[in-house]
Amino acid sequence: MAKATYKYLTASFLFILIAFFIPAYIHVVPALIVIALIICLIQGNFLQRFSRIYKSKKAWLPISLYLLYAVGMLWTTNHGYGGFDLQVKLSLLIFPLLTGTAELSADESKKILLSFVVGCLAGSTLCIAHLLFQATWSGGNSLSFSSFSFILHHSYFS
């Protein structure tokens, strides 16, 4: 197997894992993103890869939004919260850079979307099983939306 094919399959597999674990177990996702960034840096070809981002109109929308948030830091007085807000919104910058520089086919994109759907089903099944387990042991007092979603905050999970 050629090096380029190996690197391509590794990046594609990491995107599939990230898509699966976002709804299923969010705590794994930052480590997977760091691994994907390291692989992106190891692959090289920065001029060719970033020319794809420069030409991509889809990638510029979230990147521009993040840059607007960063420029908004000039007018804030609460730099602690502003820095935390930029950290939370960092995916608006990282994901377009990762996906914009990757060469994903339509088939790979479908696999990533299917992985996200399977992750949603797995997360939902885990939450239902957890809720039923809690309800049987606590006498039914834990049947609420906040106790249902123990993986993510219930508004994110919905």
Share of the chain above pLDDT 90, in %: 9
Q: Is the pLDDT of residue 29 over 80?
A: yes
Q: Is the pLDDT of residue 1 over 50?
A: no
Per the confidence metrics, is the pTM higher than 0.95? no
How many CB atoms are located within 10 Å of the residue 94 CB? Answer: 17
Torsion of CA 13, 119, 94, 1, to 10 degrees: 0
Q: What is the pLDDT of residues 31-49, one digit of tens each?
A: 888 888 887 777 777 777 7
Q: Report the Cα 50 to chain-centroid distance in Å.
A: 20
Q: Is the pLDDT of residue 118 over 90?
A: yes
Give the per-residue pLDDT at 101: 72
Query: Quick one: which of 20, 23, 12, 10 has its CA closest to 106?
Result: 12
| Angstrom distance (rounded) from CA 103 to CA 16 | 14
Q: Report the Cα 32 to chain-centroid distance in Å.
A: 9
Task: Find out whether 98 and 40 touch, Cβ atoms under 8 Å.
Answer: yes
Give the per-residue pLDDT at 5: 53
Residues of 61-84 as b/e, b for ≥16 C-beta within 10 angstroms? ebbeebeebeeeeeeeeeeeebee
